Structure 1
Amino acid sequence: MNKRALWKDIFREIGHTKARFISIFAIIMLGVCFFSGIKAAGPDMLDTAGSFYRETRLMDLKVQSTYGLTEDDIALLKDVPEVDEVQPGYNADVFAGDNGVILKVYSYNNDKPLNQYRLMDGHLPESSGEIVLDDVLAGEYALGDKVVFTGNGTDADLAESFGKLEYTVVGFVRSPQFIEKSNRGTSTIGKGTADAFAAIPASDFKLPVYTEAYLSFKDTAGVKAYSAEYESLMAQHTKAVEQAMSGVPEARLAELRSEGEAELATGRAELAATEQQIAKAARQLAALELPKIYVTDRNTNPGYAEYKDNADRLSAIASVFPVFFFLIAALVSLTTMTRMVEEHRLQIGTLKALGYGNSDIMAKFLVYGTLASLAGSAVGLAVGFSLLPAIIFNAYSSLYNLPDLIKSFYPSYSIISVIVALVCTTLTAWFAARVELRGNASVLMRPKAPKSGQRIILERITFAWKRLSFVQKVTARNLFRYKQRMFMTVFGVAGCTALILTGFGLKDSIASIAPQQFGVIMKYDALVALHTDASAAAQESYKQLISGESAITGTLDAAQETMTARAQGVNDQDVNLFIPESIDTLSDFVELRDRVSGEAQKLTDEGAVISEKLAKLYGLEPGDTLTLVDNKNESFDINVTGITENYVMHYAYMTPVYYSSVFGKEAVFNTSLLNYNAQDSAWEDRFGEKLTGNERVAATSFSSSVGTAFDETMKSMDVVTLVLIVSAAALAFVVLYNLTNINVSERIRELSTIKVLGFYDNEVTMYIYRENILLTLLGIAAGSGLGIVLHSFVLQTAELDATMFAPIIKWPSYIYAALLTMVFSGIVMAFMHMKLKRIHMIEALKSVE
């Protein structure tokens, strides 16, 4: 067969079998679209953020000191190897007038290159007295409004920090340091968290030393953010900066003491100071401690690390779901191509009789499948790379302040998609044609002999068989007569139902994390971080503050510190040690229990109770040993006595006695857990302000806000699960249409016969529908079981190291999955009804002879 004739025959075949070609095209398009789109979403998100960081020159490292940074410190930082820019600056926390808004105010210089602001409206500060505000305040302030800085009711004198306290709003901006819309970090005033940031000219600050310094490095300029290479470079640079600043605390402390002693020695009467003031200054001088240097990278910026976690979740899901899409696509394609080859038995036999070789005859089917596959792949890639990442990114845009998505073309994903698609169609076409071509020409030129009738299993159950009507008996015989099609339909429907159920189940699992973690397990209402070196007066003041609040129903002091779990072959994990001062009241604040049995886990002096995800990662069971490493790289072995239900972060709970026996020191109770019966958020704000103003309190967090923030973050996954459900539902429609169409095509003579015998159109349709309905119900039942397994597998794959999804599927999800499948089955049956009505009985009943 020459090429021209071959192509004419192929296009003629496509024209005659549009429904078949479109169905193969559609199922390949869905699989490729879903795979490429979900796979590209994560990298596109990271690329968009990385480009934004490069454009705004987000710092690589931030250096802070409890006593500030001097010009000498800045000079030391400039000598760090590979350093590019060192940008010192100031910041302070203030109230914006009387409206309670807590601003984190930063200094701004036109010539400073790092952490550039993205201007949304107005202009950047150009002269003294001008201020730009966080874009989140655009609804509360307008250009030209006045902002007055106020304190928090303590002795702090803002006049010592700022040259002026009233500023004119000249613009609204976004910062690469705060890509998350709802989080502006901690605050030293008010409720302990900042509401927004602002920037004023550096000349309006009056601080004697810098509060921070931002660093960028030459070797990170061309490295992608979030990449392993970037993280490795940051680890190296962090060590280099820490080494360069290693002698600074001692020198700074000596300098401050020298200055203080010199001032006292020159005599305070010159400054008109009272003896009481002089004594106070002397006490403050004596209380000076060694300052601490903090070197932090981008991961401490609100939302930075979490954004990557969200992208990683997408990548993890993209590694699982498309496999099932392509498996079902391969199954349906095999059935479709097999049917196509069987329909061409006469043509194949004729060509063989005329002397054509197997390869020439097979070429038609291979090209047919390849064309459908390549066309479906091309459309799937175009839609997948452009549409799905945009949909997913738009869902996350409600959480993050980032520019428009940067879409990229990924050759690797494209090649994988096309290869898999060709395997699903071209390879199945080759397999189906190869089986048929084994016969000789004389056999192929005659139709296949019908299968001989046999008694089915149900007939042997006589008491049940006798009670069936004639129509029911016919339906049962037809189902078992076409066993291959029966199993194909059940398996195809089961696969689609399983995918839909997994989508709904994933939504259930994600939605259950926040209420379980921050309501059932973590029962406390607030966590207060305490200064362990606070004076006796500050401690007494804190006690009075707590006892004076009638809403508080219970308190528990606890020691908390973070260590690193380490084992060969497992990523290092941060583990929060939790040592309650009182074991007896722990259950009022934290629930320790086995997730499956619900059995309470008791703390003993023999070991620690660790969180479930930590135990899974390291393969631990009660009686095993967990190795923890402190910040000095010293290792400690912890005996595991129990495993407790937990969904966010890793914990190790232990008694003060066991802590002392392992670490050789007494536990320092640096946090206080509070329970209260006040449900008013305004009360929480007022109480948080009181706590933050207390000298003993370092920071405060309320479970309500933590749970809500986490829940909002996880809700962004709803769109992802919606994409999964819609894609799976579309796949279900294509699969059902394809299999039903094949069913009708295979039995066209049978259906024509019963039409000739006087069956009405509705009766002919129901002749097929009864089988489809029964097979669909069987598929839904099997798919529900398969969905549970697939859901569990997806959870294990998509989970991050520090998070465990609740392994549950709520009963409405089973109903939704079943209803969706039934709806699509009904739509397909409606299409088939129209096709059955158009059957040409005489033409279909013509014999080959």
Structure 2
Amino acid sequence: MKKRALWKDIWREIWHSKSRFLSILALIMLGVAFFVGIKATGPDMIGTAERYYKENQLADFSVQSTYGLDKSDQALLEKTTGVKQVDMGYSADLLLNQDRLAMRIYSYDNHKSLNQYEMVSGRLPKHSGEIALDAAKKMNKRYKIGDTVTFVASDGNKLKDTLKKDKYKVVGFVRSPMFIEKDSRGTSTIGNGSTDAFAIIPKRDFDLPLYTVANLQFRDMADKKAFSDGYTDAMKRNRTKLEKKLDKQAEKRLETMQQESYAKLDQAQEKLDGQKEKVAASASAAAQAGVARNPELADASAELDAQQRKLLQERAKIEALEKPEYFVLDRSSNPGYAEYKENADRLTSLSTIFPIFFFLIAALVCLTTMTRMVEEQRTQIGTFKALGYSSRDIMKKFLVYGSLASLIGTGIGLVVGFLFFPSIIFNAYGMMYDMPAVELTFYPSYSVMALLVALFCTTATAFAACLAELRSNAATLMRPKAPKQGKRILLERIGFIWKHMNFSSKVTARNIFRYKQRMLMTIVGVAGCTALILTGFGLRDSISDIATLQYGSVLKYDAIVTRDKTSSEKQKAAYNKLIRGDAITGRMPTSMKTMDTVQAGTGSQAVQLTTFATTQKLDAFINLENRESHEKLKLNDQGVVVTEKLTKLLDLKKGSKLTLKDTDHKEYSFKVTGIAENYAGHYVYLSKASYEKAFDKAPSYDTDLLNLKNTSKAWENRFAEKLMDQGGVLGVTFSNTISDMLADMLKSLNIVMIVLIVSAAILAFIVLYNLTNINVSERIRELSTIKVLGFYPKEVTMYVYRENIILTLLGILVGFIFGFFLHQFVIQTAEVDNMMFSPTITWPSYLYSAILTLLFSTIVMIAMHYKLKKIDMIEALKSVE
């Protein structure tokens, strides 16, 4: 009977205190949903990419060469230890005649198994003259199945020596695991320097003497998950192995090429010598016949001399041949691959700190709520104790109450967290990436962690509150707790202030300082919520500022042009003529050399070692300035200027030594003389003299930084086409393009910020509702009394609201301080190695955070107003038994 009575009492208590039960449940649900949702999104993104790569057999490496790839290269790659599969193929950069788009054409083989294509519509090309176009670049809006497309050479002339046909029928639209980004298709040797889209045609339609690419898959990488440490380690090992083998192959290949070319020349020379002998014999016969001069023989002799000179030139070219250069490209060379991992890592970083704050605030409010509930049931606890119920049975009611709220809240939170959060955030990234739908995964470890924390927030707090009450005997518990002794507050001792305060202000001041625990709980609860909201807005500020700061304040040039070192004098002259035009307002010849950092215990970082032909007017191209001191940095011969994020990663300061290594693994040391502001990538700037001192040679200025008069998209595209048509330019990149791409990439994080801000705002509402509800419940007799004394409903509401608004304002101010430091911590945690977030929070973010908190405080008080109107005034007349 006792047990039945207890269970009835438990269910009755839940029913009669629905708002309290639901508010605890909502707190737990929100905390759990945010915890498992953000925690699961990063792994879900990685898992989705892993499945996509596995299904479409994305190659581990692609090998290319400056002279193409022949059968000997294929044999070498196939015999390399650990290689599971080698696919040889063709690719070419061609212009689409209809739209003048730079297209990357790949060969397609029905038997090919690496880098498979996923059909979006139509079918894959089967017969000669068929083509499937890139679906992700919205080519399906330009063309439809059945259309015919025509390819031309980069100069617009008829295509030759690349494809057997120049007209192709569109049979389908595909996407590829090589290109997961929606906007980027990599660089191109034609057009404006960037590839607009890709397409695939049957392998037999290529008319090339050598393969252009070899795709490889290794056995020890096939069974490892993409982006995992195991995969990265195997990738490094196998890459080193390939590079060593191909370095030896380059010598053999050069020797073979020279021998084959010499053999052809020898054959041509023998044929030429035979022709010379015939001409000489004819000339001799003519002389004997008394013919003074034979014009035909003279012409033939001149022609043979010209052929001889040509053969000598060909022989000189063969002797001057450089050994082929092989390039081993891993998956990170595919557009979007590395950035996708970085975005997932950012989410994983964010999942560490925010849920902790959510749970801390939830635990704080639950402790207050459960403590108040136990105090309300004090008389009943004493009665149960007097009737012979054990402390265990009495405590069961409160433990079940708290545990049930935790279990239901956790259950709903797990569903919301695992199903909705990853989908919402991944769909936001859909603006950047062309990937299949996110693969949702249930993580038992996260679920167990969330449940344990949730139970701790409610059950543990209920246990602690009950234990404190049950230490008293039945008689003590059956009597109401004696009210706190009234005493003067500090403000009352300041006479000139206290005397000028009205009655309502004095009551408000006394009530605030009388209930110090409630005051602290309200301030801390509101401060925590405000801090979370401010951090969300602050992160939005930090992220949105990166593109503007990097390509506005730091890097001021409008375009960067990479020139071909081997270009002819004619190409150089044409380029210089174009650059000297009115459209170019400034030019800075620059040397850029990619190197890697060397430091024990720290991962290697790729840096751009940058040297300028002159430092005059450098400020017009790059602003070298210290972010904190705003000191202008000068390049001198004593050392190098290093960008800020690199100094943080390597723990460098002014005067430290920086060690870099080149592609030949030769190391160079430099002294750090300045730390420059920078937000994307790593740069090391040094003077010409410092470069010559370190490398024992002068820098090669094969890069130009340009400032343009016109920076419109249309003009830049036309200018890029003119540059690429000169033939001496390898690539041109515009700051506007990079800035827009960076902004778009970071814009996808806005949805994470919105989720955070909305979640924090809901948390603020629940916290304020709970604390206000407790405040009203604790003071029900006091409020009944003032109603009897003639206070109107609005005055009763303001009686409570005045205290709330003061405590809320104090909480907001404290929240600004917490939020500032939380924001600093989060941006340091969420940053990836090659990016630095702006540490500034703009003033509107503080304003929005305060307004949201005050808005929820107002909504809570409107709800409380109706509750206060229903207070029974007779309650104040009841005597305490």
Which piece of structure 1 moves more, 280-289 or 86-95? 280-289
Q: CA offset at residue 626 of structure 1?
A: 1.7
Structure 2, gaps ≥5 residues long: 276-302
Q: Distance in 1 between matches of 2:319 and 2:194?
A: 31
The match for 1:466 is 499
The match for 2:767 is 735
Q: Distance in 2 between matches of 1:784 and 1:595?
A: 24
**Residue 267 of structure 2 aligns to which amino acid in structure 1?**
T
Q: CA offset at residue 670 of structure 1?
A: 2.7
1:196 aligns with 2:197: yes
Which piece of structure 1 moves more, 625-634 or 518-527? 625-634
Q: Distance in 2 between matches of 1:98 and 1:249?
A: 40
Q: Distance in 2 between matches of 1:229 and 1:310?
A: 20
- Residues 410-437 of structure 1, C-alpha deviations (whole Å, 9 max, x = no match): 0111111111111111111111112222
- Residues 712-732 of structure 1, C-alpha deviations (whole Å, 9 max, x = no match): 100000101000100000100
The correspondence of residues 364-375 of structure 1 with structure 2, limited to 5 A, is 364-375=397-408
The correspondence of residues 72-83 of structure 1 with structure 2, limited to 5 A, is 72-83=72-83
1:667 aligns with 2:668: no
Q: CA offset at residue 407 of structure 1?
A: 0.2
The match for 2:409 is 376
The match for 1:175 is 176
Which secondary structure does the structure 2 equivalent of 1:158 belong to? Answer: coil
**Residue 51 of structure 1 aligns to which amino acid in structure 2?**
R
Closer, same or farther: CA 845–789 of 1 in aligned 2, 3 Å: farther
Q: CA offset at residue 34 of structure 1?
A: 0.3
Q: Distance in 1 between matches of 2:507 and 2:44?
A: 55
The match for 2:289 is none
The TM-score normalised by the length of structure 1 is 0.97
The match for 2:279 is none
1:711 aligns with 2:743: yes
Percent identity among equivalent residues? 54
Q: 1:510 aligns with which of 535, 543, 558?
A: 543
Q: Is 1:532–1:669's contact at 8 Å kept on the other side of the alignment?
A: no
Q: 1:150 aligns with which of 148, 152, 159?
A: 152
Which piece of structure 1 moves more, 834-843 or 123-132? 834-843
- Residues 655-690 of structure 1, C-alpha deviations (whole Å, 9 max, x = no match): 121122233333222311111111222221121112
Which secondary structure does the structure 2 equivalent of 1:207 belong to? Answer: coil
1:234 aligns with 2:235: yes
Which secondary structure does the structure 2 equivalent of 1:133 belong to? Answer: strand
1:808 aligns with 2:840: yes
**Residue 170 of structure 1 aligns to which amino acid in structure 2?**
V
**Residue 44 of structure 1 aligns to which amino acid in structure 2?**
D
Which secondary structure does the structure 1 equivalent of 2:66 belong to? Answer: strand
Which secondary structure does the structure 1 equivalent of 2:561 belong to? Answer: strand
Q: Is 1:502–1:787's contact at 8 Å kept on the other side of the alignment?
A: yes
Q: Distance in 1 between matches of 2:442 and 2:312?
A: 70
1:452 aligns with 2:485: yes
Q: CA offset at residue 105 of structure 1?
A: 0.2
Q: Distance in 2 between matches of 1:320 and 1:100?
A: 49
The match for 2:340 is 307
Q: CA offset at residue 281 of structure 1?
A: 4.8
Q: Distance in 2 between matches of 1:216 and 1:421?
A: 46
Q: CA offset at residue 645 of structure 1?
A: 0.5
Q: Is 2:369–2:770's contact at 8 Å kept on the other side of the alignment?
A: yes
- Residues 774-833 of structure 1, C-alpha deviations (whole Å, 9 max, x = no match): 111111122112211111111111111111000111111111111111111111111111
Q: CA offset at residue 351 of structure 1?
A: 2.3
**Residue 127 of structure 2 aligns to which amino acid in structure 1?**
S
Q: Distance in 2 between matches of 1:687 and 1:592?
A: 28
Q: Distance in 2 between matches of 1:404 and 1:680?
A: 36
Q: Distance in 1 between matches of 2:880 and 2:125?
A: 89
Q: CA offset at residue 584 of structure 1?
A: 2.2
4+ aligned runs moved over 4 Å, structure 1? 268-284
Q: Distance in 1 between matches of 2:421 and 2:675?
A: 40
The match for 1:556 is 588
Which piece of structure 1 moves more, 6-15 or 208-217? 6-15
**Residue 140 of structure 2 aligns to which amino acid in structure 1?**
A
1:68 aligns with 2:45: no
- Residues 165-204 of structure 1, C-alpha deviations (whole Å, 9 max, x = no match): 1111111110110010100011011111000000000010
Which secondary structure does the structure 1 equivalent of 2:606 belong to? Answer: strand
The TM-score normalised by the length of structure 2 is 0.93
Q: CA offset at residue 81 of structure 1?
A: 1.7
Which piece of structure 1 moves more, 535-544 or 358-367? 535-544
The match for 1:441 is 474
Q: CA offset at residue 361 of structure 1?
A: 2.1
Q: 1:480 aligns with which of 494, 513, 518?
A: 513
Q: Is 1:564–1:574's contact at 8 Å kept on the other side of the alignment?
A: yes
Q: Distance in 2 between matches of 1:191 and 1:284?
A: 31
1:751 aligns with 2:774: no
Which secondary structure does the structure 1 equivalent of 2:258 belong to? Answer: helix
1:46 aligns with 2:79: no
RMSD: 1.9
- Residues 501-556 of structure 1, C-alpha deviations (whole Å, 9 max, x = no match): 11011001000000100111011111111223434443333222211x21111111
Q: CA offset at residue 232 of structure 1?
A: 1.1
Which secondary structure does the structure 2 equivalent of 1:731 belong to? Answer: helix
The correspondence of residues 358-437 of structure 1 with structure 2, limited to 5 A, is 358-437=391-470
**Residue 766 of structure 1 aligns to which amino acid in structure 2?**
M
Structure 1, gaps ≥5 residues long: none
The match for 1:141 is 143
The correspondence of residues 181-260 of structure 1 with structure 2, limited to 5 A, is 181-260=182-261
Q: CA offset at residue 627 of structure 1?
A: 2.1
**Residue 698 of structure 1 aligns to which amino acid in structure 2?**
L
Q: Distance in 1 between matches of 2:342 and 2:878?
A: 64
Which piece of structure 1 moves more, 771-780 or 718-727? 771-780
Q: CA offset at residue 282 of structure 1?
A: 5.3
Q: Distance in 2 between matches of 1:183 and 1:494?
A: 43
Q: Distance in 1 between matches of 2:216 and 2:856?
A: 58
**Residue 89 of structure 2 aligns to which amino acid in structure 1?**
G
The match for 1:118 is 118
Which secondary structure does the structure 1 equivalent of 2:797 belong to? Answer: helix
Q: Is 2:180–2:336's contact at 8 Å kept on the other side of the alignment?
A: yes
Q: CA offset at residue 216 of structure 1?
A: 1.1
Q: Distance in 2 between matches of 1:697 and 1:3?
A: 87
Q: Distance in 1 between matches of 2:4 and 2:666?
A: 77
Q: Distance in 1 between matches of 2:607 and 2:76?
A: 34
Q: Distance in 1 between matches of 2:466 and 2:662?
A: 65
Q: Distance in 1 between matches of 2:490 and 2:346?
A: 48
Q: CA offset at residue 357 of structure 1?
A: 3.2
Q: Distance in 1 between matches of 2:100 and 2:242?
A: 38
Which piece of structure 1 moves more, 530-539 or 236-245? 530-539
Q: Is 2:692–2:698's contact at 8 Å kept on the other side of the alignment?
A: yes
Q: Is 1:130–1:170's contact at 8 Å kept on the other side of the alignment?
A: yes
Q: Distance in 2 between matches of 1:140 and 1:286?
A: 49
Q: CA offset at residue 354 of structure 1?
A: 3.0
Which secondary structure does the structure 1 equivalent of 2:68 belong to? Answer: strand
Q: CA offset at residue 620 of structure 1?
A: 1.4
The match for 1:783 is 815
**Residue 448 of structure 1 aligns to which amino acid in structure 2?**
K
**Residue 457 of structure 2 aligns to which amino acid in structure 1?**
C
Q: Distance in 2 between matches of 1:11 and 1:203?
A: 77
1:27 aligns with 2:22: no
Q: Distance in 2 between matches of 1:287 and 1:561?
A: 26
The match for 2:652 is 620
Q: CA offset at residue 755 of structure 1?
A: 1.2
Q: CA offset at residue 763 of structure 1?
A: 1.3
Q: Distance in 2 between matches of 1:178 and 1:45?
A: 16
Q: Distance in 2 between matches of 1:520 and 1:775?
A: 41
Q: CA offset at residue 279 of structure 1?
A: 7.0
Q: Distance in 2 between matches of 1:567 and 1:251?
A: 36
Which piece of structure 1 moves more, 126-135 or 588-597? 588-597
Which piece of structure 1 moves more, 656-665 or 195-204? 656-665
Q: CA offset at residue 26 of structure 1?
A: 0.5
The match for 2:281 is none
